[in-house]
Chains A and B, each alone.
Chain A
Amino acid sequence: MIIKKLRVEHFGCFQTPFEVEFTKGLNIILGPNEAGKSTLFNAIEKSLFTPARLKPTEYRTIMKRWEPLGSDSLSAVITFTIKGKKYELSKRWGVSAQAVLRLSDGSTVSDDSAISAMLSSIMPAKPGTFKSVLMTYQSGLLKTVDELKKEHVETLHTLGDILRAALLETGGVSVEAFKARIEEQYSRYLSRWDLRANGPEKGRGIENPWLKEVGELLAVYYKKEGFRKKYEDALRFEERLDGIVRRLNECSTELADLSGFVRRNERTAKDALERRSFTATLQAGRMKIEHMKKANSEWPVIEEKIKQIEARMPAIIERHKELTAESEAASSARSESVLREKHQRAKGWNDRLTEARNILAGAKKITAVDVDFLRKAESAMERLETKLTSVGLNVRIKAVSDARIEIRKDLEGPSAIELKAGETKDITAGGFLSVLHPGIEIETTAGKIDIKSVKAEHERQRQVLSDTLLTLGVSSIDTAATVSKEYERLTREAQTARTLLDKELGSESFDAIEMSVASLGEPKNLRPLEDIAVDLANAVNERRNLSAEIEALKKRLSDLTSEFGSMDKLFTSLGAIFKETADVEGKISVLTPLPEGVDSAESFVEAFEAKRLELAKMERLMSDLREERARVEGESPELTTEDLDSARREAEEEFDSIERKALAIMKIKTLSERLLENVDKNIYTELQSEIEKHVSAITGRRHEKVAMEGGMPKGFVLSDGRSLGYESLSMGTADALSLALRLAMAGYFLKEADGFIMLDDPLVDMDPERQKNASEVIQAYARNRQVVVFTCHPSHATALGGNLINLPSV
């Protein structure tokens, strides 16, 4: 694309029409400040890329500032060639806005969008590339880099593509487009598909499916799963229906059997019911006959028996009376005998009492008290003697000469001892010893015993004892005791006789009894009362039994009479019953016989009724099952399991096919990413060397190594290896790097195509040497392309040379 001419009318500072002609190669637009350089730059850019018909706000933002004073519109016409073909693009903004692109063949396009689309297709670079790389005005390196990074990302991508293309020699295949296509294909096939899990993303199966952005693989997976689920549902439905139908058929067979049975046996059952009733009547009749037969045979027997008993009864009554009288007599005799015996026993006791009293009256009376008194006196004496003799005294008497001495020891009386001279006599005593020799009485006592008192008491007691024995008339205590015992025995005997007599007599006196006995005559000779009693009891029993029997017989006779009236009537009734039963037997004989093996009408009717109940139950069950079947059939799926199985298999085949395709896409994606990753590591290497070539030329080889960050330079690499960031560069050096970057990038974008690049005062901050070097670089670059340089420095214009366009001062 080569700009041939630009004509502006009412644009910026140009109030009147102004026209500039450009040549291929280097064009220098020289003018002082405010001469309109910036206006011309914007007129070119707006003509090419800003639609004529703008919204008011857009117009105010983009174009208003270029609107001349007093005007409500502005216009420009740019003429250019692309691949040798001439185009003229005229635009008017503001009031009466219009755009017209005149083509080389004379035809025109007047729609902004169409013009934009056409330009985009024929221009050597995209609008973004022009704006960010090829047409920059007043932008230093920093601004260039920032703008590219922030505002013209697309340009960077395109540059990356260009660089890749350069490196990979794609021969027409855009790697970016390839990547986009693969992404699009990947998304088309594998969107929402989890390759690792080999299923839907997040496990969202058919129950909770993804609804948006569903790739083909997932779509066909859902389709396959949908058929599978429908198949399972249909299978469940069919099995459920099968179950119901099977039960219906079973019930139907059972129902047919039952209704057949009921139908076949209905008559038999009805007859069986009658048979049951007739049989009962017959049985009752037969029982009645038996009953009447029995009465008939019983009746005369009873009557005869009553007669017999009544005949026996007087004798039995008489005998009863006799025995009663005999019993009473015997009972009276028994009482007399008892009195006599009582008298005999009382008399015996009375005799013994009299005898005892007589003996007692003649006996010596020594009581036990008397004996006790004697024993106590004797005992007191013994205690005193013991007291006196219990110590023991031993005295040896040695006769000096013959002597006679009187000895008294203890309670003993005096005794004399004759001793020869020289004779020795040992005397032993208890507690007292008295030796009396003429002229001498020696009394020896043991301890402090009052021998006199003891002796006196002993004597008193002996006297009491002796007196008492004397009084009682016995010689010793033992005799007294013996006499006392005998006296007491007699006393007890008399008392016993008295007690027994009293007991026998009770309240009566012996004399009264004796008188009663005396009044009785001689004892009578009668049968024992017990024998009479036995006979009497038998007689009573016999009489009672016969009375009861006769009573029962009469009762029975009365019953028979009240039941049958009379024997004649009974006989007549019996005949009638016989006839009735014969009639019933006749009726039974014409009824349907019971089936073979059936015991009774009862059991048959029971069995029949059970079947009929079962039939009713079965009919209800059938009805329920039919309802259930209808309900289930109402849920019938549209397709059968076979249809769904077939559809499922088709879907599975489809799934397999799409899966293979998807995996192929996946493989291509993975492989291409791996290849491009390796490529991306190197694609900017060439750009870097292009920048370094220009930088080296402009800086006179002062800077030869550029540090890159992705596709953008970030400064220089110094000879010692350190990096110098562009924020640390001088203005002139930064401009050198900016110019080098721009030229390098423009080279890539334009390649061999015709194209232009616009530069705004590229030499302004450079020293003269670098200005010279930069001019040479620009001149060299402009040999094959169109370069438009805007400058206000005539010296720069001179240094650059080329087509000089002088702008007049405004």
Chain B
Amino acid sequence: MHIGMQFAGFPEVRERLREARFQCLERLVKTAEERQCNLIVISGDLFHTARPAKKDLVRATGILEQFRLGPVAVLPGNHDFLSGGDSDLWHDFQKTLLDNIIILDRKAPFNLARFNVGAVLYPCPCESKHSAENAVGWIREIPLNESDEIRIGIAHGSLEGVSPDFEMRYFPMTEAELSGLGLDLWLLGHTHIRYPKTSGPSSRIFYPGTAEPDGFDCGHKGSAWIIEIDEEKKIKAEAIETGKYFFVHDNAELSSGADVQRLAGRYKNEEFKNALVKLKITGRLPDEEFRKAIKISASLAERLAHLILDSEGLSEEITIEKINSEFAEGSFPHALLNHLCEDGDSLALQTAFEIVSELRKK
């Protein structure tokens, strides 16, 4: 959830994005109740830091306590890691909790029998922000309970081949390692992209992805898994959309009036009111179309939560013919623009053309 994230790069929508985390948590609890879930697992990074604001902490616990169908298990992730024995965060969190919230702060099996859930959790909490060693090793050291209870591993960190962790700093794990520990199911946190993309009968390792997207590296609308496990431990998993705001990397290549028209038609759908869009416009357009495109692209911001427009690659189509038609041959602007046109540096040509045009108007 990354509650308390600052969104320094988006000062205009910062407050809305911060608020969205709480709203998302509320939706998750509501959906879990609607879908009759008997356990909610937050597999790390409920909070963005190990020292969240007190009011954020109280508000988050208040939301989680609203779940009445079973326990909510919260794992300290690498952002809200256990900061040492009586960690301030989890210590304070614990004080505010009702019985239905479990903090998975010990590397020891946690039997959910008292909640009438036939499962044992194997928590692997993070004890620092970074670690080259994951937290699942303790499971290898203990004998596994051979009863019929469902054994669920809950860990936080990167998974080889799934998460980008080139420097191996985020509790790196491998599928083989997790599979080798003999549990029935692994619920992981950290990677902001859902894994697997679609669940199959053999899926045993799940990343929900971030529930409320928090940056342009989240190319989805927020997701969570609803996982059903039957008595034979067969798993059925359904991915649900949970986010409000979403981030879009968009490109528009404009080379004609039709393209400009299409640009004008973008983001008209209501859902884009919650979209943060990084739009890169490229292409070369004739004078009139170019001006039109500039005007349209600026107006797109009104349809979006936030627009980061990069139209540097869009330029007026300045051809030799255009230069010849507008400037007397041998004149300074003609010579300058002609050189730049031949040089093929469209940005320099565009800039020079804009300056010359502006001065000519005067």
Are the C-beta atoms of B8 and A170 separated by less than 8 Å? no
Residues of chain A within 8 A of B360, CB atoms compared = 171-173
A660 partner, pick from B130, B328, B347, beta carbons under 8 A: B347
In this assembly, does A664 line the interface, its C-beta being within 8 Å of a C-beta of chain B?
A: yes
CB distance from B244 to the nearest CB of A (A): 20
In this assembly, does A174 line the interface, its C-beta being within 8 Å of a C-beta of chain B?
A: yes
Residues of B in contact with A (beta carbons under 8 Å apart): 5-9, 48-51, 79, 81-85, 127-131, 215, 310, 312, 327-328, 330-333, 335-336, 339-340, 343, 345, 347-348, 350-352, 355-356, 358-360, 362
A170 partner, pick from B7, B50, B331, B343, beta carbons under 8 A: B331
Q: With A and B bound together, what is the CA distance between A668 and B349 in angstroms?
A: 8
Are the C-beta atoms of B347 and A171 separated by less than 8 Å? no
Knowing A168-B330, A633-B51 touch, does A251 contact B359 (C-beta < 8 A)?
Answer: no
B9 partner, pick from A242, A625, A647, beta carbons under 8 A: A647
Residues of chain A within 8 A of B350, CB atoms compared = 664
Interface centre among B85, B345, B352, B356 (most CB of A within 10 A): B85
Are the C-beta atoms of B49 and A625 separated by less than 8 Å? no
Are the C-beta atoms of A245 and B82 separated by less than 8 Å? yes
Are the C-beta atoms of A173 and B6 separated by less than 8 Å? no
Closest to A237 in B: B129
Residues of chain B within 8 A of A661, CB atoms compared = 312, 347, 351
Q: With A and B bound together, what is the CA distance between A499 and B279 in angstroms?
A: 151
Are the C-beta atoms of B348 and A664 separated by less than 8 Å? yes
Are the C-beta atoms of B328 and A171 separated by less than 8 Å? yes
Are the C-beta atoms of A643 and B83 separated by less than 8 Å? no
Residues of chain B within 8 A of A241, CB atoms compared = 50, 83, 128-129
Number of residues of chain A lying within 8 A (CB) of chain B = 55
Knowing A661-B347, A664-B348 touch, does A671 contact B340 (C-beta < 8 A)?
Answer: yes
Residues of chain A within 8 A of B5, CB atoms compared = 643
Chain A, residues 166-208, CB within 8 Å of chain B (1/0): the string is 0011111111011001100100000000000000000000000
Are the C-beta atoms of B130 and A168 separated by less than 8 Å? no
CB distance from A580 to the nearest CB of B (A): 51
A residues 629-651 in Cβ contact with B at 8 Å:
629, 633, 636, 638-640, 643-644, 646-647, 650
- Chain A to chain B contacts (Cβ below 8 Å), 24 pairs: A169-B330, A171-B331, A174-B359, A177-B362, A178-B359, A181-B359, A238-B129, A241-B129, A242-B128, A242-B131, A246-B127, A248-B83, A248-B85, A249-B84, A252-B85, A643-B6, A660-B312, A661-B347, A661-B351, A664-B348, A664-B350, A667-B348, A671-B340, A679-B332
Residues of chain B within 8 A of A331, CB atoms compared = none
CB distance from A228 to the nearest CB of B (A): 14
Q: With A and B bound together, what is the CA distance between A177 and B84 in angstroms?
A: 67
Interface centre among A246, A638, A643, A675 (most CB of B within 10 A): A643
Interface centre among A246, A660, A668 (most CB of B within 10 A): A668
Are the C-beta atoms of A640 and B49 separated by less than 8 Å? yes
Residues of chain A within 8 A of B85, CB atoms compared = 248-249, 251-252, 255, 622, 626
Chain A, residues 237-276, CB within 8 Å of chain B (1/0): the string is 0110111111011011001000000000000000000000
How many pairs of A and B residues are in contact by the CB < 8 Å rule? 142
Are the C-beta atoms of A168 and B332 separated by less than 8 Å? yes
Q: With A and B bound together, what is the CA distance between A355 and B233 in angstroms?
A: 149
Are the C-beta atoms of B336 and A629 separated by less than 8 Å? no
Q: With A and B bound together, what is the CA distance between A586 and B356 in angstroms?
A: 114
Closest to B352 in A: A668
Q: With A and B bound together, what is the CA distance between A672 and B332 in angstroms?
A: 8
CB distance from B355 to the nearest CB of A (A): 5
Are the C-beta atoms of B84 and A169 separated by less than 8 Å? no
Q: With A and B bound together, what is the CA distance between A650 and B306 in angstroms?
A: 15
Residues of chain A within 8 A of B310, CB atoms compared = 653, 657
A contact face: mostly helix, strand, loop, or mixed: helix
In this assembly, does A164 line the interface, its C-beta being within 8 Å of a C-beta of chain B?
A: yes
Are the C-beta atoms of B348 and A181 separated by less than 8 Å? no
Are the C-beta atoms of A640 and B48 separated by less than 8 Å? yes
Are the C-beta atoms of A239 and B130 separated by less than 8 Å? yes
Residues of chain A within 8 A of B328, CB atoms compared = 169, 171
Q: With A and B bound together, what is the CA distance between A487 and B200 in angstroms?
A: 155
Q: With A and B bound together, what is the CA distance between A633 and B51 in angstroms?
A: 9
In this assembly, does A577 line the interface, its C-beta being within 8 Å of a C-beta of chain B?
A: no
Chain A, residues 655-667, CB within 8 Å of chain B (1/0): the string is 0010011011101
Closest to A248 in B: B84
CB distance from B255 to the nearest CB of A (A): 21
Q: A173-B359, A243-B128 are in contact. List 13 more A-B contacts (CB 8 A).
A: A173-B331, A173-B332, A175-B332, A177-B362, A181-B359, A241-B50, A245-B81, A249-B82, A249-B127, A661-B347, A667-B343, A668-B351, A675-B332
Q: With A and B bound together, what is the CA distance between A646 and B339 in angstroms?
A: 39
Q: With A and B bound together, what is the CA distance between A414 and B49 in angstroms?
A: 167
B127 partner, pick from A245, A663, A665, beta carbons under 8 A: A245
In this assembly, does A302 line the interface, its C-beta being within 8 Å of a C-beta of chain B?
A: no
A residues 53-89 in Cβ contact with B at 8 Å:
none
In this assembly, does A380 line the interface, its C-beta being within 8 Å of a C-beta of chain B?
A: no
CB distance from A253 to the nearest CB of B (A): 9
Q: With A and B bound together, what is the CA distance between A170 and B335 in angstroms?
A: 10
CB distance from A172 to the nearest CB of B (A): 4
In this assembly, does A676 line the interface, its C-beta being within 8 Å of a C-beta of chain B?
A: yes
Are the C-beta atoms of B84 and A625 separated by less than 8 Å? yes
Are the C-beta atoms of B51 and A657 separated by less than 8 Å? no
Closest to B358 in A: A181
**Nearest 6 pairs between A and B by C-beta?**
A248-B84, A252-B85, A242-B128, A664-B348, A168-B332, A169-B328
Q: With A and B bound together, what is the CA distance between A633 and B48 in angstroms?
A: 15
CB distance from A255 to the nearest CB of B (A): 8
Are the C-beta atoms of A185 and B355 separated by less than 8 Å? yes
Q: With A and B bound together, what is the CA distance between A172 and B310 in angstroms?
A: 32
Residues of chain A within 8 A of B345, CB atoms compared = 664, 667
Interface centre among B82, B129, B332 (most CB of A within 10 A): B332
Residues of chain A within 8 A of B362, CB atoms compared = 174, 177
B130 partner, pick from A238, A255, A647, beta carbons under 8 A: A238
A residues 679-699 in Cβ contact with B at 8 Å:
679
CB distance from A173 to the nearest CB of B (A): 5
Are the C-beta atoms of B84 and A178 separated by less than 8 Å? no
Q: With A and B bound together, what is the CA distance between A570 and B13 in angstroms?
A: 102
Q: With A and B bound together, what is the CA distance between A164 and B339 in angstroms?
A: 19
Q: With A and B bound together, what is the CA distance between A675 and B338 in angstroms?
A: 12
Knowing A245-B127, A657-B312 touch, does A671 contact B339 (C-beta < 8 A)?
Answer: yes
CB distance from B47 to the nearest CB of A (A): 11
CB distance from A211 to the nearest CB of B (A): 23
Closest to B343 in A: A667
Are the C-beta atoms of A647 and B131 separated by less than 8 Å? no
Closest to B356 in A: A173
Closest to B351 in A: A664
Residues of chain A within 8 A of B347, CB atoms compared = 660-661, 664
A178 partner, pick from B332, B339, B348, beta carbons under 8 A: B332
Knowing A173-B356, A249-B85, A664-B348 touch, does A168 contact B128 (C-beta < 8 A)?
Answer: no
Residues of chain B within 8 A of A646, CB atoms compared = 8-9, 215
CB distance from B172 to the nearest CB of A (A): 15
Are the C-beta atoms of B336 and A675 separated by less than 8 Å? yes
B129 partner, pick from A172, A242, A665, beta carbons under 8 A: A242
Are the C-beta atoms of A672 and B336 separated by less than 8 Å? yes
Are the C-beta atoms of B339 and A676 separated by less than 8 Å? no
Residues of chain B within 8 A of A671, CB atoms compared = 336, 339-340
Q: With A and B bound together, what is the CA distance between A644 and B9 in angstroms?
A: 9
Are the C-beta atoms of A640 and B79 separated by less than 8 Å? yes
Knowing A171-B331, A668-B340, A675-B335 touch, does A178 contact B129 (C-beta < 8 A)?
Answer: no
Residues of chain B within 8 A of A169, CB atoms compared = 328, 330-331
CB distance from A639 to the nearest CB of B (A): 6
Chain A, residues 490-520, CB within 8 Å of chain B (1/0): the string is 0000000000000000000000000000000
Residues of chain A within 8 A of B348, CB atoms compared = 663-665, 667-668
Closest to B360 in A: A172
Residues of chain A within 8 A of B339, CB atoms compared = 671, 675
Residues of chain B within 8 A of A629, CB atoms compared = 83-84
Residues of chain B within 8 A of A672, CB atoms compared = 332, 336, 352
